[in-house]
Amino acid sequence: MTDRYCVIGNPIAHSKSPAIHAHYAAQQGQDLHYEQCLAPLDGFAATVQRLVAEGYKGANVTVPFKLEAARLATRLAPRAHAAGAVNTLLFEGGEIVGDNTDGAGLVADIVRNAGVTLEGKRVLLLGAGGAARGAVLPLLDAGPRQIVIANRTLATAETLVAGFAEHAGRLAVSSFADLEGSFDVIVNATSASLDAAVPPVPASVFGPGTLALDMMYGNKPTVFMVFAAGHGATVRDGLGMLVEQAAEAFALWRGQRPATAAVLAALRQSQQ
């Protein structure tokens, strides 16, 4: 019987996940079906229960249900616990296992696709919302010298860092305006690009060797990417992260991590 998976969100029609997973399944010779699942805003838990009852093997979770998914899971992977958010569910042995592959996808995109190591590097993480929270532990695991988290609302960044007390020596908090020195890697995990806004960071954070990645993606560079490139940085959008987080989810469900280059190239092509 074909194993079934889906991506749950609201709205969901825009999701690229079914196309990505169909590509991975074909590449890996795996018999699975992956579809979109629109859940009512007040009906996420009921939707998950229905999927479990119908024999689905797992699901991805996207906006606005990632926090609710973390509360609903009967067991959380450490990185999902650290993030307080779940983007991947695994229905197994009567349990709803919650994981978060967004941060691992981000790190995989930086290291594998951009070819930039994080070991010993100075990293700036802009934002302290769900996406930033999910990124902190996988970024720390990649061995940077320091991660500075800068957010519009400083208290939110301080609360975020307080949750990683055992890594306090490598984590710092700053306002945008007080950022000092340049960074090797800068990740924009704010949603500012959605409003065509750029977090007001000093231009000195960028240097000729800086990789600046905006988690957002679209058919043209974001305003943040344009700003960063204008100050000498190499820039990337969040499409590679999307493809890599899906590969991480596929690996969790199916035990095999698919190759991502072809699907990333195909998505880039379709955006032009």
* Minimum distance, C-beta of residue 127 to ligand NDP, in the bound complex (Å): 4
Question: Distance between CA 152 and CA 94 in Å, rounded?
Answer: 41
Minimal distance in Å, beta carbon 62 to ligand NDP?
8
What whole-number distance in Å separates Cα of residue 80 and Cα of residue 193? 25
**Residue number, 29 or 217, with CB nearest to ligand NDP:** 217
Whole-number minimum distance, CB 155 to ligand NDP, in Å? 9
Contact 98, 68 (CB under 8 A): no
Residues 6 or more apart in contact with residue 225 via CB below 8 angstroms: 212, 214, 235, 236, 237
Nearest to 105 by CA among 96, 92, 97, 114: 114
Residue nearer to ligand NDP on the CB measure, 1 or 196 = 196
Tell me whether residue 96 or residue 215 sits nearer to ligand NDP (CB atom): 215
Residue 102 in the binding site for ligand NDP (CB under 6 A): yes
Cβ atoms of residues 210 and 179 within 8 Å: no
Among 18, 43, 129, 163, binds ligand NDP (CB under 6 A): 129
- Count other C-beta atoms under 10 Å from residue 110's C-beta: 25
User: With DSSP H G I counted as helix, E B as strand and the rest as coil, what are the percentages for the chain, rounded to 5?
Assistant: 45, 20, 35
The reply to whether 136 sits near ligand NDP by the rule CB under 6 A is no
Are 51 and 6 in contact by the 8 Å Cβ rule? The answer is yes
SS3 for 53-121, per residue? HCCCCEEEECCCCHHHHHHHCCEECHHHHHHCCCCEEEEECCEEEEECCHHHHHHHHHHHHCCCCCCCC
**DSSP state letters, 216-265:** ---SS--HHHHHHHHTT-EEE-SHHHHHHHHHHHHHHHHS-PPP-HHHHH
Within 205-234, which residues bind ligand NDP (CB under 6 A)? Answer: 215-217
Selected from 83, 189, 225, 263, the binder of ligand NDP by CB under 6 A is 189
197 in contact with ligand NDP (CB under 6 A): yes
Active site residue 16: no
Nearer CB in complex with ligand NDP: 193/260: 193
Give the C-alpha separation, 207 to 185, whole Å.
10
Using CB under 6 A, pick the residue from 152, 170, 231, 268 that binds ligand NDP. Answer: 152
Closest contact distance (angstroms) between CB of 113 and ligand NDP is 12
**Residue at shortest CB range from ligand NDP:** 129
103 counts as binding ligand NDP under rule CB under 6 A? no
Per rule CB under 6 A, count of chain residues that contact ligand NDP: 27
- The verdict on 128 binding ligand NDP (CB under 6 A) reads yes
**Is 127 one of the binding residues for ligand NDP (CB under 6 A)?**
yes
Question: Taking CB under 6 A as the rule, does residue 88 contact ligand NDP?
Answer: no
Positions that interact with ligand NDP (CB under 6 A) = 102, 127-132, 151-153, 156, 189-195, 197, 199, 215-217, 238, 241-242, 245
Q: Among all residues, which ones are annotated catalytic?
A: 66
